[in-house]
Structure 1
Amino acid sequence: MSSDVTVVLASQSSSRAALLAGAGVAFDKASSGVDEAAVKAGLLGEGASPRDIADALAELKAVKVSMARPGALVIGADQTLDLDGALYDKADSLAEARARLQTFRGRRHRLHAAVVVALDGAPIWRTLESPALTMRPFTDAFLDGYLARNADAALSSVGGYWLEGEGAQLFERIDGDYFAILGLPLLGLLDLLRRYGVLEL
């Protein structure tokens, strides 16, 4: 494949963009325009699991943008949080984030991080990683201080934490791919980009 293949990230996520840029990938960004809440609600109504929802949303974003960007490799990504089979979305308030982190405290949850790459309107590659994260039994005093210092992380990430920041202090154990926890399983994606001549072998 030609090395002038364009890569498009079908996401407005700053963390995903930072991961790609940090790995040396040149790319454009495009919003998919997908109504994620409506799609999630429909899939949940059909009995889809949090894992399936992440995969379906990643594909929908990739394909939708790919149809408008012929010849480009379009990366769609999504991440869902799964606690005992229940799907959690971003908290709407710090009070909700506090209650949620209390629910997660001392328990293990999974982050399902899906990536689908589309070319000319069709998916050509996909991966899904589901790292497991176990929160430590932190005190309410720690939690209140954490939320006071990390309001942005609490409200902008599905779990109420950025693992690359002070959110690391919430955990006692992590099993799985670190990049997937940040929202973009990266190593397989980089391999695909090498195969398409975007990156050097």
Structure 2
Amino acid sequence: MADDSNLVLKPASLQAESPPIVLASRSSARRAMLESAGIRAAYRAADVDEHAIRTTCRAQGLDADRTALELAGAKAQAMTVSPGTLVIGADQILTCNGTWFDKPTDRAQARTHLRQLRGQSHTLHTAVVMMRDGCTVWQHVARPMLHMRAFSDTFVERYLQLEGDAILSCVGCYRLEGPGIHLFSRIEGEHSAIVGLPLLPLLGALRAQGSVVQ
């Protein structure tokens, strides 16, 4: 009888051995979503001037969808990777009643943004771009809509104290995976797209590229 006591079973995976995947983001939320879906990837911050890209796009008359795609594509393009690697870039733009919102620069601006958004509905234009060998092979924009309740100034102050500088990296000044969920009365759209990466469309694109089993 064969002795298989030393046999090591390799865990099953839905991901193909190749091509490798790089996410052009250091976002812990995006990384957690990919890892929870069983996707192995490298995570790198993209060195791009987001403000300059956004300003140029607006000067050219591009809408929020197109601008978010330009930002996501610039992040993917900025990565130096080996041939054949799939590079994913993502970005978000928030619009409310025709106004574009950027990430707040400090808590004072976060307070202003929250007061402007409360009692209103806003849209997150969440773009994701996939590139291989410098060419875009897939892109997508999700548009979840979020309805903020009419919270009090007291709530705003306590919320800012609780969250601290964590919200300065979040457009809209909230993390749905944290206390930010208290800001809302209703949410429409895929949760992952709100957090920053439309996961269902992305997984479909990875299957189409042969990176995930069909």
- 1:194, 1:46 → 2: CA distance? 35
1:28-63 deviations in Å (ceiling 9; x for gaps) = 123332211111111112222222210111122223
Residue in 1 aligned with 2:171? 158
> In the alignment, is residue 40 of structure 1 matched against residue 54 of structure 2?
yes
> In the alignment, is residue 63 of structure 1 matched against residue 77 of structure 2?
yes
Q: Is the 8 A contact 1:3 1:197 kept in 2?
A: no
1:147-187 deviations in Å (ceiling 9; x for gaps) = 11011333120110001111111000111111110000001
Shift of 1:194: 2.4
Residue in 1 aligned with 2:67? 53
Residue in 1 aligned with 2:104? 91
Query: Highest Rg: 1 or 2?
Result: 2
Give the letter aligned to residue 18 of structure 2.
Answer: D
- 1:7, 1:192 → 2: CA distance? 12
- 2:165, 2:121 → 1: CA distance? 23
Q: Is the 8 A contact 2:107 2:165 kept in 1?
A: no
- 1:112, 1:138 → 2: CA distance? 24
- 1:120, 1:107 → 2: CA distance? 42
Partner secondary structure for residue 150 of structure 1: helix
Q: TM (normalized to structure 2)?
A: 0.88
- 1:64, 1:154 → 2: CA distance? 25
- Percent of matched pairs sharing the same residue: 43
Aligned counterpart for 2:144 among listed residues 118, 131, 146:
131
- 2:174, 2:212 → 1: CA distance? 32
> In the alignment, is residue 196 of structure 1 matched against residue 190 of structure 2?
no
Give the letter aligned to residue 80 of structure 1.
Answer: I
Aligned counterpart for 1:176 among listed residues 189, 195, 213:
189
Shift of 1:110: 0.6
Q: Is the 8 A contact 1:50 1:85 kept in 2?
A: no
Shift of 1:140: 0.8
Aligned length in residues: 200
**Unaligned stretches of 5+ residues in structure 1:** none
Please list every run of at least 4 consecutive aligned residues from structure 1 whose deviation after the TM superposition is greater than 4 angstroms. none
Aligned counterpart for 2:116 among listed residues 103, 120, 127:
103
1:125-163 deviations in Å (ceiling 9; x for gaps) = 111101111100011111111111011333120110001
Aligned counterpart for 1:141 among listed residues 154, 161, 168:
154
Residue in 2 aligned with 1:11? 25
Partner secondary structure for residue 196 of structure 2: coil
- 1:10, 1:160 → 2: CA distance? 22
Give the letter aligned to residue 208 of structure 2.
Answer: R
**Unaligned stretches of 5+ residues in structure 2:** 1-15
Residue in 1 aligned with 2:86? 73
Shift of 1:17: 1.3
Give the letter aligned to residue 115 of structure 1.
Answer: V
Give the letter aligned to residue 152 of structure 1.
Answer: D
Give the letter aligned to residue 74 of structure 1.
Answer: V
